[in-house]
Structure 1
Amino acid sequence: MNLERGSVEAPQEYDAIIVGAGINSLACAVHLGAKGWRVGVFEQANTAGGAVKTLELTEPGFRHDWAAMNLSLFAGSGFFKAHGEDLIGRGLEFAPASHCFASVFEDGKWLGVSTGTGESRTRIAGFSENDAKAWDKLCEEFPGTAEYVFALLGNPMQMHIQGKILAKALFRKGFSWTAGLARLLLSSPRKWLTETFESDHVRATMAAWGMHLDFAPDMAGGAVFPYLEAMANQNFGMVIGKGGADTVTRALLSKIQSSGGEVHCGKRVTRVLRTGGKASGVELEDGSQIKASRTVIANVAPEGLMKLLDGASGDAVFDTKMAKFTHAPGTMMIHLALDGLPDWSASEELKTFAYVHIAPSLDQMARTYQQAVAGLLPDEPVLVVGQPTTVDPSRAPEGKHVLWVQVRMVPGEIRGDAAGKITETDWAVVKEIYADRALDMIERHAPGLKAKIISRAVVSPLDLEADNPNLVGGDQVAGSHHLSQNFLFRPAFGHATGKTPVDGLHLTGASVWPGAGTGAGAGFMLAQKLGGK
Structure 2
Amino acid sequence: MSAPEAADAVVIGAGHNGLVAANLLADSGWDVVVLEATGAPGGAIRSAAVTGPGYLSDLYSSFYPLGYASPVMRALRLTDHGLSWRHAPDVLAHLLPDGRAAVLNRRPERTAASVEEFAAGDGERWLKAYAEWRSVSAPMLDTLFTPFPPVRGGAALLARLKPAGALRLARRLILTSRRLGEEVFRGEGAQVLMGGCALHTDLSTEDAGSGVYGWLLTMLGQEYGWPVPDGGAQRITDALVARLRARGGRIEYTARADRVLTARGRAVGVSTMDGRRWRARRAVLADVPAPALYLELVGPAALPPRLVDDLAHFQWDGSTVKVDWALSGPVPWENPAAASAGTVHLGADLNGLTRYATALATGEVPSRPFLLVGQMTTADPSRSPAGTESLWCYTHLPFRRDWTSDEVLAHVARMESVLEEHAPGFGRLVVGRHVAGPADLEGVNSSLVGGALGGGTAAAYQQLFLRPIPGLGRADTPVDRLFLASSSAHPGGGVHGGPGANAARAALARDRFLTGDAYRALIATAHRAVY
TM-score past 0.5 threshold: yes
Distance 1:400 1:265 in 2: 36
Write the mapping of 1:171-182 to structure 2, written as runs, cut at 5 A. 171-182=159-170
Q: Is residue 2:461 matched to residue 1:461?
A: no
Distance 1:323 1:314 in 2: 14
Cα deviation, 1:244-277, whole Å, max 9, x if unaligned, reads 0110101111111122211222221111111222
Q: After superposing the two structures, state which structure 1 stretch, 364-373 or 164-173, moved more.
A: 164-173
**How well do the aligned residues superpose, as a CA RMSD in angstroms?**
2.0
Partners of 1:38 and 1:259 within 8 A in 2:
no
C-alpha displacement of 1:311: 3.0
Q: Given residue 44 of structure 1, which amino acid in structure 2 is its aligned partner?
A: A
Q: Given residue 259 of structure 2, which amino acid in structure 1 is its aligned partner?
A: R
Partners of 1:201 and 1:361 within 8 A in 2:
no
Q: Given residue 398 of structure 2, which amino acid in structure 1 is its aligned partner?
A: P
Q: Is residue 2:389 matched to residue 1:401?
A: yes
User: What residue is the counterpart of 2:361 in the other structure?
Assistant: 373
Distance 2:173 2:367 in 1: 31
Equivalent residue in structure 1 for 2:324, among 335, 338, 348: 335
Secondary structure in structure 2 of the residue aligned to 1:155? coil
Cα deviation, 1:350-398, whole Å, max 9, x if unaligned, reads 2111100014223222222232233322111110010011111111233
TM-score, with length taken from structure 2? 0.91
Distance 2:302 2:344 in 1: 45
Distance 1:182 1:526 in 2: 26
User: What residue is the counterpart of 2:301 in the other structure?
Assistant: 312
Distance 1:341 1:48, change over 3 A: same
Q: Given residue 328 of structure 1, which amino acid in structure 2 is its aligned partner?
A: D
Distance 1:452 1:20 in 2: 39
In the comparison of the two structures, how many residue pairs are matched? 508
User: What residue is the counterpart of 1:214 in the other structure?
Assistant: 202
Distance 1:58 1:115, change over 3 A: same
User: What residue is the counterpart of 2:400 in the other structure?
Assistant: 413
Q: Given residue 92 of structure 1, which amino acid in structure 2 is its aligned partner?
A: L
Cα deviation, 1:26-63, whole Å, max 9, x if unaligned, reads 01111111111111111222221111111111212211
Secondary structure in structure 1 of the residue aligned to 2:302? coil
Distance 1:302 1:58, change over 3 A: same
Equivalent residue in structure 2 for 1:267, among 251, 255, 260: 255
Secondary structure in structure 1 of the residue aligned to 2:215? helix
Equivalent residue in structure 2 for 1:345, among 334, 338, 350: 334
Unaligned runs of 5+ in 2: 513-531
Secondary structure in structure 2 of the residue aligned to 1:494? coil
Distance 1:370 1:329 in 2: 12
Q: Is residue 2:55 matched to residue 1:67?
A: no
C-alpha displacement of 1:498: 1.2
Distance 1:117 1:139 in 2: 8
Q: After superposing the two structures, state which structure 1 stretch, 361-370 or 96-105, moved more.
A: 361-370
Q: After superposing the two structures, state which structure 1 stretch, 308-317 or 190-199, moved more.
A: 308-317
Distance 1:97 1:323, change over 3 A: same
C-alpha displacement of 1:210: 0.7
Secondary structure in structure 2 of the residue aligned to 1:103? strand
Distance 1:154 1:178 in 2: 19
Q: Given residue 490 of structure 1, which amino acid in structure 2 is its aligned partner?
A: R
Q: Given residue 104 of structure 1, which amino acid in structure 2 is its aligned partner?
A: L
C-alpha displacement of 1:168: 4.7
C-alpha displacement of 1:178: 1.1
Equivalent residue in structure 1 for 2:44, among 47, 51, 63: 51
Distance 2:105 2:43 in 1: 30
C-alpha displacement of 1:167: 4.8
Secondary structure in structure 2 of the residue aligned to 1:397? coil
Distance 1:207 1:485, change over 3 A: same
Q: Matched residues, percent identical?
A: 30
Distance 2:492 2:403 in 1: 30
Distance 1:10 1:221 in 2: 50
C-alpha displacement of 1:176: 2.1
Distance 1:116 1:318, change over 3 A: same
Secondary structure in structure 2 of the residue aligned to 1:28? helix
User: What residue is the counterpart of 2:188 in the other structure?
Assistant: 200
Secondary structure in structure 2 of the residue aligned to 1:377? coil
Q: Given residue 524 of structure 1, which amino acid in structure 2 is its aligned partner?
A: A
Equivalent residue in structure 2 for 1:128, among 101, 110, 119: 119
Q: Given residue 209 of structure 1, which amino acid in structure 2 is its aligned partner?
A: C
C-alpha displacement of 1:166: 4.2
Distance 2:302 2:288 in 1: 15
C-alpha displacement of 1:478: 1.1
Q: Is residue 2:269 matched to residue 1:281?
A: yes
Secondary structure in structure 1 of the residue aligned to 2:199? helix
Distance 2:158 2:43 in 1: 40
Distance 1:259 1:112, change over 3 A: same
Distance 1:296 1:513, change over 3 A: same
User: What residue is the counterpart of 1:420 in the other structure?
Assistant: none
Partners of 1:53 and 1:67 within 8 A in 2:
yes
Q: After superposing the two structures, state which structure 1 stretch, 169-178 or 478-487, moved more.
A: 169-178
C-alpha displacement of 1:128: 0.7
Distance 1:42 1:23 in 2: 13
User: What residue is the counterpart of 2:493 in the other structure?
Assistant: 516
Cα deviation, 1:274-321, whole Å, max 9, x if unaligned, reads 122211111111222111111111111121011111333331122222
Cα deviation, 1:429-486, whole Å, max 9, x if unaligned, reads 2222211110110110001111111110110012112222222221111101111111
Secondary structure in structure 1 of the residue aligned to 2:227? strand
User: What residue is the counterpart of 2:376 in the other structure?
Assistant: 388
Secondary structure in structure 2 of the residue aligned to 1:354? strand
Q: After superposing the two structures, state which structure 1 stretch, 183-192 or 317-326, moved more.
A: 317-326
User: What residue is the counterpart of 1:237 in the other structure?
Assistant: 225
Partners of 1:201 and 1:360 within 8 A in 2:
no
Q: Given residue 452 of structure 1, which amino acid in structure 2 is its aligned partner?
A: L
Write the mapping of 1:416-495 to structure 2, written as runs, cut at 5 A. 426-495=403-472
Q: Is residue 2:77 matched to residue 1:89?
A: no
Partners of 1:412 and 1:462 within 8 A in 2:
no
Q: Given residue 423 of structure 2, which amino acid in structure 1 is its aligned partner?
A: A
Partners of 1:98 and 1:238 within 8 A in 2:
no
User: What residue is the counterpart of 2:526 in the other structure?
Assistant: none
Distance 1:200 1:10 in 2: 65
Q: Is residue 2:155 matched to residue 1:155?
A: no
Secondary structure in structure 2 of the residue aligned to 1:174? helix
Equivalent residue in structure 2 for 1:325, among 307, 310, 314: 314
Secondary structure in structure 1 of the residue aligned to 2:251? strand
